[in-house]
């Protein structure tokens, strides 16, 4: 089956994604070496799940036999408004859980493609599947890996969620990877209060152990590292993204209501039942209230 790349991209925009690119499914050049170095250096901290499925993360044909194409999708989450209090939450966690939002959009996209290609089959990937989202987005011409180690889209910056459809179908056109446009800019690296942003062989690399986002979400220890500087963040962190010139000029694409802001504010002094209710369908359900209280106390 040969898919029209133009048609696929039109369908992606129609169902609600903000951009789409298509890459040929094959082993990512240089990625496995980069991944192995990152893991072997212990930069993943306690995220043992990152050590699993290295081959699948490097080659989509290990994820789906006979894979021919990777359809990469972008959804901007830059909000129309943010919390104004001293307690800060990473903006990707505002509103409904992005896993749920994107999974719904992916199934809508599959249905839309089947309107012209009834036999179309694809494996939807939403962050929890072992595939390197940002590397595939780069391969599909949707941006580059910035010095903040995130995918930077030329229009939407790094405030983007990424997803893929891995399919055995071929496309009549494949996109070309973009070269980095960060040039000599190191504002993100300078802004990180913990020095978590590094480079290895010219490729940006994150030492998660020094990262506020990792420590406030993935670190399950009873206490946070005493030398950690969170700058008020109690879930995730946007410091390096806020410093990026590309992010300053990107338009807000996700409407956040006053009611949603109010719900986030109520989390600060919430009891167990309220915390569970307010985070049930949020990306914040990644942590338990005991971690939430630990993070808040650390900032006081």
Active site residues: 127
Q: Are 166 and 125 within 8 A, CB to CB?
A: yes
| Nearest by Cα to 39 from 282, 206, 285 | 206
* Three-class SS of 86-114: CCEECHHHCCCCHHHHHHHHHHHHHHHHH
For residues 264 and 278, give the distance between their C-alpha atoms in angstroms, rounded to a whole number.
Answer: 8
- What are the start-end ranges of the H helices in the chain? 5-15, 31-40, 54-58, 60-63, 98-114, 133-139, 187-191, 212-217, 239-242, 245-248, 258-266, 272-279, 289-299
For residues 187 and 244, give the distance between their C-alpha atoms in angstroms, rounded to a whole number.
Answer: 6
For residues 245 and 182, give the distance between their C-alpha atoms in angstroms, rounded to a whole number.
Answer: 9
């Amino acid at each position: 089956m040969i898919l029209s790349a133009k048609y696929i991209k039109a369908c992606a925009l129609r169902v609600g994604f903000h951009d789409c690119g298509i890459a040929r499914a094959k082993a990512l050049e240089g990625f496995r070496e980069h991944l192995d170095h990152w893991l072997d250096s212990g930069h993943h901290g306690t995220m043992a799940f990152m050590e699993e499925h290295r081959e699948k993360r490097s080659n989509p044909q290990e994820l789906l036999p006979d894979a021919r194409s990777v359809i990469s999708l972008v959804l901007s989450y830059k909000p129309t408004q943010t919390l104004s209090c001293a307690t800060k939450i990473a903006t990707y966690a505002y509103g409904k859980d992005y896993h749920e939002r994107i999974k719904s959009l992916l199934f809508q996209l599959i249905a839309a493609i089947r309107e012209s290609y009834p036999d179309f089959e694809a494996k939807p990937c939403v962050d929890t599947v072992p595939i390197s989202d940002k590397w595939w987005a780069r391969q599909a011409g949707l941006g580059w890996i910035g010095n903040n180690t995130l995918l930077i889209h030329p229009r939407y910056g790094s405030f983007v969620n990424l997803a893929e459809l891995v399919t055995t179908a071929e496309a009549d056109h494949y996109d070309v990877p973009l070269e980095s446009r960060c040039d000599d800019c190191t504002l993100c690296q300078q802004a990180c209060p913990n020095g978590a942003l590094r480079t290895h062989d010219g490729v940006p690399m994150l030492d998660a152990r020094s990262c506020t986002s990792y420590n406030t979400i993935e670190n399950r220890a009873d206490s946070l590292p005493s030398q950690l500087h969170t700058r008020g963040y109690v879930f995730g962190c946007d410091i390096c993204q806020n410093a990026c010139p590309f992010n300053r000029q990107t338009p807000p694409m996700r409407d956040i209501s006053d009611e949603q802001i109010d719900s986030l504010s109520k989390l600060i002094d919430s009891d167990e039942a309220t915390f569970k209710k307010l985070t049930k369908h949020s990306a914040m359900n990644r942590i338990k209230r005991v971690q939430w209280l630990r993070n808040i106390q650390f900032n006081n």
